[in-house]
């Protein structure tokens, strides 16, 4: 028994949900089916490691739109099930329950799953990952004042969880195998700033040392590091990266690199199949190369580009990436890609907990990190997008009004 969707969206996360509503907002009248593995309407993940873990945000507040909005827009939702495989010849998708559905256009918005630890003991019930509502509901049952929390991985998710742990009165250790935290995404100066911040708030932060083993029969009672240090644990959180969900695309013969390979219009080599969000390795016109990004603004933008393509009014994907992270009372906002920078200029006092860092290449601002400086961040976004050439001394001088740079683009 096969039915046909004009647009079948696989994955009801940030990208998939936005695409469904975006299509309707732009006037699409065909049949839209949104299939999602998780038993929820599309929800925001950023609060999972922030206000939802801390208990400040309710479950309902995570939902991007209530079910009634999907109903009103005639978006057919199938939550709690998924697509197992795609047959490109017959243009059908097979669902987990064995039923099939034909598609006109298929959009893969499958996100990713946490990279898992492979050590013996890693499947004990006090070892946690931070990706879904279900993960956090399970973690919250154990997340109590006085508990000893060991976080493996000093990336955003690990550091945000550490900050919530401290706030809730847990005893927090963070273990990062690389020599510094946030190493993949920021300059040594900013890593050093965040290391000072976490230590000053009470985190026992260990860098440059990996995890060697877990001790304990039913639970992980201690984490043993490569240098022999033994850290007693009640709870372990692993935040060691994401694996994009590319398997169904790969089995269907689509090209995979770091993600599902798509062009400037988020389209795979099969013109009827698109991929967006965390699972997609996408061409970006601003950079003139392809990349896979893990951020809400990227998911939103790619959903917009796909809706335009499906509606026959294609626009290229050319957004400059940006991101944010909340730790303690610090709001970090980042724009651009800092790889390959030649100079970093700090504006403001890096010890004051309100400053910006600008990354320059050939005198041009290619990226910026702003800590508790939202207005400067808005200007930084424009400087990066317009590839503005700056004078480093002016940029560092707080007496110099940054905005004036916007009137004289390079
Ligand atoms: P997802 O939101 O992961 O959605 C994919 C969905 O597809 C999932 O629900 C999955 O179950 C489903 N699925 C997978 N396979 C199938 C299948 N075969 N059939 C049906 N359904 C399937 N970004 C920021 O910009 N700022 C932040 O501060 C920030 N904080 C974050 C904090 C946490 C804890 C996490 C986990 C992420 C954070 N992110 C942040 C990243 C951001 O949430 C993701 O980039 C974004 O959710 C990507 O959207 P997506 O739709 O591609 O994937």
Residue pLDDT, tens place only, 273-322: 999 999 999 999 999 999 999 999 999 999 999 999 999 999 999 999 99
Which atom of ligand 1 lies nearest, measured to the CA of 279?
Answer: 52
In angstroms, what is the span from residue 108 Cα to ligand 1's centroid?
Answer: 12
Task: Kindly report the protein residue whose alpha carbon is nearest to atom 19 of ligand 1.
Answer: 82
- Is ipTM strictly over 0.95? yes
In 201-329 the beta strands, taken as DSSP E runs, fall at 204-207, 211-215, 222-225, 230-232, 235-238, 242-244, 260-262, 273-275, 280-284, 289-291, 322-327
- pTM over 0.90? The answer is yes
User: Cα 126 to the chain's mean position, in Å?
Assistant: 24
Q: Which pLDDT score is estimated for 146?
A: 98
Q: Which two tokens stand for residue 341?
A: 């920078």
- Main-chain dihedrals φ then ψ at residue 78, nearest 5 degrees: -125, 95
List pLDDT tens digits, range 40-49: 999 999 999 9
In angstroms, what is the span from residue 279 Cα to ligand 1's centroid?
Answer: 9
Q: In whole angstroms, what is the distance from residue 188 CA to residue 283 CA?
A: 29
- Among 33, 36, 45, 57, which is best to mutate for testing ligand 1, by the most ligand atoms less than 8 A from CB? 45
16 C-beta closer than 6 A to ligand 1:
yes
Q: In whole angstroms, what is the distance from residue 177 CA to residue 117 CA?
A: 13
In angstroms, what is the span from residue 113 Cα to ligand 1's centroid?
Answer: 8
Confidence tier at 267 by pLDDT (50, 70, 90):
very high
Distances (CA, A) of 292 to 35, 248, 388: 23, 18, 25
Q: In whole angstroms, what is the distance from residue 81 CA to residue 36 CA?
A: 6
Q: Which residue has the tokens 């990436």?
A: 321
Collapsed DSSP state (helix, strand, coil) of residue 324: strand
114 C-beta closer than 6 A to ligand 1:
no
What is the overall mean pLDDT for the chain? 97
Distances (CA, A) of 159 to 132, 183, 202, 230, 248: 17, 12, 13, 21, 32
List pLDDT tens digits, range 394-404: 999 999 999 99
pLDDT tops 90 at residue 409: no
324 C-beta closer than 6 A to ligand 1:
yes
246 C-beta closer than 6 A to ligand 1:
no
Q: Are 267 and 274 in contact (CB under 8 A)?
A: yes
Decide: residue 304, CB within 10 A, 0-12 exposed, 13-18 middle, 19+ buried.
Answer: buried
């Amino acid at each position: 028994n096969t039915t046909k969707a004009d647009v079948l969206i696989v994955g009801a996360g940030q990208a998939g949900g936005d695409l469904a509503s975006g299509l309707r907002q732009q006037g699409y009248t065909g049949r839209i089916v949104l299939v999602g593995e998780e038993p929820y309407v599309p929800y925001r993940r950023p609060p999972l490691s922030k206000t939802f873990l801390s208990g400040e945000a309710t479950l309902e507040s995570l939902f991007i739109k209530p079910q009634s909005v999907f109903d009103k827009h005639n978006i057919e939702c199938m939550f709690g099930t998924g697509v197992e495989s795609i047959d490109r010849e017959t243009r059908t998708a097979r669902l987990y329950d064995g039923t099939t559905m034909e598609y006109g256009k298929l959009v893969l918005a499958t996100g990713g799953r946490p990279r898992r630890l492979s050590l013996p003991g890693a499947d004990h019930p006090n070892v946690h990952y931070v990706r879904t509502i279900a993960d956090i509901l399970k973690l919250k049952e154990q997340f109590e004042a006085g508990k000893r929390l060991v976080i493996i991985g000093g990336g955003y998710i690990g550091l945000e969880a550490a900050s919530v742990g401290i706030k809730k009165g847990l005893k927090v250790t963070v273990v990062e195998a690389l020599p510094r935290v946030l190493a993949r995404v920021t300059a040594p100066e900013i890593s050093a700033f965040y290391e000072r911040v976490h230590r000053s708030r009470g985190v026992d932060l260990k860098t440059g040392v990996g995890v060697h083993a877990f001790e304990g029969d039913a639970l992980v009672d201690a984490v043993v590091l490569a240098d022999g240090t033994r850290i007693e644990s009640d709870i372990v959180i692993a935040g060691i990266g994401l694996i994009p969900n590319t398997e169904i695309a790969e089995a269907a013969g689509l090209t995979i690199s770091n993600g599902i390979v798509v062009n400037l219009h988020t389209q795979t080599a099969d013109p009827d199949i698109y991929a967006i969000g965390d699972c997609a390795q996408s061409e970006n016109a601003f950079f003139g190369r392809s990349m896979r990004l893990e951020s809400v603004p990227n998911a939103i933008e790619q959903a917009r580009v796909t809706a335009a393509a499906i509606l026959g009014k294609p626009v290229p994907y050319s957004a400059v990436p940006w991101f944010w992270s909340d730790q303690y009372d610090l709001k970090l906002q980042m724009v651009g890609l800092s790889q390959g920078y030649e100079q970093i200029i700090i504006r403001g006092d890096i010890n004051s907990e309100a400053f910006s860092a600008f990354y320059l290449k050939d005198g041009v601002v290619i990226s910026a990190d702003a800590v508790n400086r939202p207005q400067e961040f808005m200007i930084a976004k424009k400087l990066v997008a317009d590839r503005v050439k700056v004078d480093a001394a002016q940029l560092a001088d707080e007496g110099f009004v940054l905005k004036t740079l916007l009137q004289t683009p390079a």
